[in-house]
């Protein structure tokens, strides 16, 4: 029997964004992104789910201490993104459209560097209750 188990930590942040492609006309941006292209931005309450898969440590019985995972997410993701305007405040999103897909990859790339290689990592990001993305898949 495998002793690999996935553990999850859910966190929350809110942020504003505007979806648009600067090389397109206003008309095309509105046609593609609709309300999400609102020039004065709009906000979302994002739910973030971080999944870490690894083997159970026989000494602790943990795959990973979820307090440690929570601290990593808070320090390296939430402190960066929470209550921010993603387009204006985050350098990465000056050239990358801050869609849920791109935010999810952004978060993965940050956390991948902070979590040891022997763990698998997957990020799920809910932009609304019904719309969510997952990376890697
Ligand atoms: Ni939006």
Q: Is there a contact between 50 and 25 (Cβ–Cβ < 8 Å)?
A: no
CA of 70 to the centre of ligand 1 (A): 25
Closest CA to 78 of 53, 99, 59, 106: 106
Q: What is the pLDDT of residues 51-76, one digit of tens each?
A: 999 999 999 999 999 999 999 999 99
Domains of the chain, CATH where assigned: 4-135 (3.30.479.10)
The percentage of residues in the chain with a pLDDT greater than 70, rounded to a whole number, is 99
Prediction pTM value: 0.96
Q: Can you tell me the distance from the alpha carbon of 5 to that of 19, in angstroms, rounded to the nearest whole number?
A: 37
Phi-psi region of 85 (alpha: psi -120 to 50; beta: other; left: phi over 0): beta
Report whether the peptide linkage leading into residue 136 is cis, meaning its omega lies within 30 degrees of zero. yes
pLDDT of res. 76? 98
Of 33-37, 113-117, 122-126, give the lowest mean pLDDT range: 33-37
CA of 36 to the centre of ligand 1 (A): 5
What value does the mean pLDDT take over residues 24-52?
Answer: 96
Residue holding tokens 């993701």? 77
CA of 68 to the centre of ligand 1 (A): 30
Residue 88 scores a pLDDT above 90: yes
Q: How confident is the model at residue 2 (pLDDT cuts 50, 70, 90)?
A: confident
């Amino acid at each position: 029997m495998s002793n690999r188990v996935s553990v999850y930590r859910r966190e929350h942040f809110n942020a504003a964004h505007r979806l648009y492609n600067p090389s397109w006309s206003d008309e095309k941006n509105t046609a593609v992104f609709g309300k999400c292209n609102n020039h004065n931005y709009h906000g979302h309450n994002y739910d973030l789910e971080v999944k870490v898969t690894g083997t159970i440590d026989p000494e602790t019985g943990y795959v990973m201490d979820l307090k440690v995972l929570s601290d990593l997410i808070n320090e390296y993701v939430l402190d960066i993104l929470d209550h921010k305007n993603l387009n204006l405040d985050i350098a990465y999103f000056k050239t990358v459209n801050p869609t849920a897909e791109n935010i999810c990859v952004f978060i993965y790339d940050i956390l991948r560097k902070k979590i040891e290689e022997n763990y698998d990592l997957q990020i799920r990001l809910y932009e609304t209750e019904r719309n969510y993305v997952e990376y890697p898949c």
